[in-house]
Amino acid sequence: MTDSVDLAPIRDAVRALCADFPGEYWRALDRERAYPDKFVAALTKAGFLAALIPEEFGGSGLTMTAAAAIMEEIQASGCNGAACHAQMYTMGTLLRHGSPDQKARYLPAIARGELRLQAFGVTEPTSGTDTLALRTTAVRDGDAYVINGQKIWTSRAEHSDLMLLLARTTPREQAEKRTAGLTVFLVDMRAVQGLTVRPIRTMMNHATTEVFFENMRVPAEAVIGREGEGFRYILSGMNAERILIAAECIGDAKWFIGKAAAYAGERVVFGRPIGQNQGVQFPIARAYIGMRAAELMVREAATLYETGNDCGAEANMAKQLAAEASWAAADMCVQTHGGFGFAEEFDIERKFRETRLYTVAPISTNLVLSYIAEHVLGLPRSY
């Protein structure tokens, strides 16, 4: 599919960078569950992770469509943008709701790659998707807040300087409305005490962690926007997250489809290429159709986003369709490769594990469906 604006130079540049990080690089890291430092450094140096930071703050000031193209190409090249995708979108909360001082202090340093804002602390073990039930508290004490509680699945916390953290500042029963009483903090993890980060080993190499706060003091100026308004600020950043992760899924699907089509054309069994059999062709064609349909929704969501329109429904649908398309393509790719689909050196099993995440995170299928049912179709709220 051609882009409506010419993104070819950006796509070519991402592909060229990714060519230096072939399958062997990712396989070696995967075995050790090690972080792709060199890859992330290269993306940062090239300015790709600062794509959405406006030029006035030293970023490239690109559109959401261009940012999505960057993430898509990373995945379509066989690399894994999950190691750093949050650097691209987490800063949006700071950009939209931070004070002029906060923006001037952090955004240029993030754009230059001197500060890493990769950690996003929302999910907790007991509340799960029910964000308003989170239990981490921040209590004002003079010119500081004292934070106690726990987060889970705080990805890349070990590879970040800053963490965007959501905590409760007003007890739930005292909050003036259901969605009030949560506050966003930009925590400088290098400067605090009482913070413990523990890695969680997962089915793929994702550098995710659980994080504990024990009387962790953060200065009052770490608050982003107004106290108690944090839930709204976090929600406002989620459309960008969904669109970019949807674009990653499109890239994954393209990678799986390309691999499968190539293999089906060259693997000869019973005296002919397996791809000559409709039983092998059709699943590849079906995966392609699913990917293309999802790609259209990702583009629509990105266009709505960058033109300042409401894109909640489209961002959710894009994430859902793209995550389903990449997972269907992953399954098809394994099947097309037969036994070799399970061999590490083909990278398929690694990408298969990596792309599985996206029907669960950053938001799970059922929650997308209930959003559409309630907010688009007007059905009664189910939870």
Ligand X SMILES: Cc1cc2nc3c(=O)[nH]c(=O)nc-3n(C[C@H](O)[C@H](O)[C@H](O)COP(=O)(O)OP(=O)(O)OC[C@H]3O[C@@H](n4cnc5c(N)ncnc54)[C@H](O)[C@@H]3O)c2cc1C
Q: Which residue from 154, 239, 316, 326 is in contact with ligand X, where contact means CB under 6 A? A: 154
Identify the residue whose tokens are 């393509």: 329
Residue 44 lies near ligand X (rule: CB under 6 A): no
Strand partners, 167: 183
Q: Which residue from 63, 137, 276, 364 is in contact with ligand X, where contact means CB under 6 A? A: 364
The one-character DSSP state at 146 is E
Residue 372 lies near ligand X (rule: CB under 6 A): no
Min separation Cβ 129 and ligand X, Å = 3
Residue 362 lies near ligand X (rule: CB under 6 A): yes
Residue 334 lies near ligand X (rule: CB under 6 A): no
Residue 361 lies near ligand X (rule: CB under 6 A): yes
Rounded Cα–Cα distance for residues 200 and 55 (Å): 36
Give the residue with the Cβ less far from ligand X, 81 or 275. Answer: 81
Q: Which residue from 44, 77, 123, 150 is in contact with ligand X, where contact means CB under 6 A? A: 123
Give the residue with the Cβ less far from ligand X, 65 or 118. Answer: 118
Angle at 200 between CA 195 and CA 205, to 5 degrees: 125
Rounded Cα–Cα distance for residues 167 and 181 (Å): 9
Q: Which amino acid is at 329?
A: A
Rounded Cα–Cα distance for residues 109 and 20 (Å): 26
Active-site residue flag, 73 = no
Rounded Cα–Cα distance for residues 146 and 194 (Å): 10
Task: Characterize 179-210 residue by residue with b for buried, 16 or more Cβ atoms within 10 angstroms of its Cβ, and e for exposed.
Answer: ebbbbbbbbebeebeebebeeeeeebbbbbbb
Q: How far, CA to CA in Å, does 12 sit from each of 9, 34, 256?
A: 5, 27, 20
Min separation Cβ 209 and ligand X, Å = 9
**Which residue stretch of 21-29, 202-210, 245-253, 316-324 sits at the interface with ligand X (rule: CB under 6 A)?**
202-210
Residue 209 lies near ligand X (rule: CB under 6 A): no
Q: Which residue from 21, 153, 305, 327 is in contact with ligand X, where contact means CB under 6 A? A: 153
Q: How far, CA to CA in Å, does 197 sit from each of 61, 94, 191?
A: 33, 23, 14
Rounded Cα–Cα distance for residues 368 and 319 (Å): 9
Binding mask 101-120 for ligand X (x = CB under 6 A): -------------------x
Residue 240 lies near ligand X (rule: CB under 6 A): no
Q: Are the C-beta atoms of residues 285 and 47 closer than 8 Å to each other? A: no
In this structure, what is the dihedral angle of CA atoms 291, 75, 206, 53, given to the nearest 10 degrees? -110
The one-character DSSP state at 375 is I
Q: How many residues of this chain bind ligand X (CB under 6 A)?
A: 23
Residue 155 lies near ligand X (rule: CB under 6 A): yes
Rounded Cα–Cα distance for residues 358 and 372 (Å): 18
Give the residue with the Cβ less far from ligand X, 99 or 129. Answer: 129
Any residues with CB less than 8 A from the CB of 12 and at least 6 apart, and which?
none
Residue 129 lies near ligand X (rule: CB under 6 A): yes
Min separation Cβ 368 and ligand X, Å = 9
Structure tokens at 30: 């995967």
Residue 128 lies near ligand X (rule: CB under 6 A): yes
Residue 208 lies near ligand X (rule: CB under 6 A): yes
Please tell me which residue in 72, 73, 241, 295 is annotated as part of the active site: 241
Strand partners, 199: 209
Give the residue with the Cβ less far from ligand X, 104 or 360. Answer: 360
Residue 206 lies near ligand X (rule: CB under 6 A): yes
Q: Is 369 helix (H, G, I), strand (E, B) or coil?
A: helix
Residue 65 lies near ligand X (rule: CB under 6 A): no
Min separation Cβ 169 and ligand X, Å = 18
Give the residue with the Cβ less far from ligand X, 77 or 320. Answer: 320
Min separation Cβ 128 and ligand X, Å = 3
Residue 202 lies near ligand X (rule: CB under 6 A): yes
Min separation Cβ 166 and ligand X, Å = 8
Cβ-based neighbour number of residue 268 at 10 Å: 11
> What amino acid positions are annotated as catalytic residues?
241
* Residues of this chain that bind ligand X (CB under 6 A): 120-123, 128-129, 153-155, 202, 206, 208, 357, 360-364, 366-367, 370, 382-383
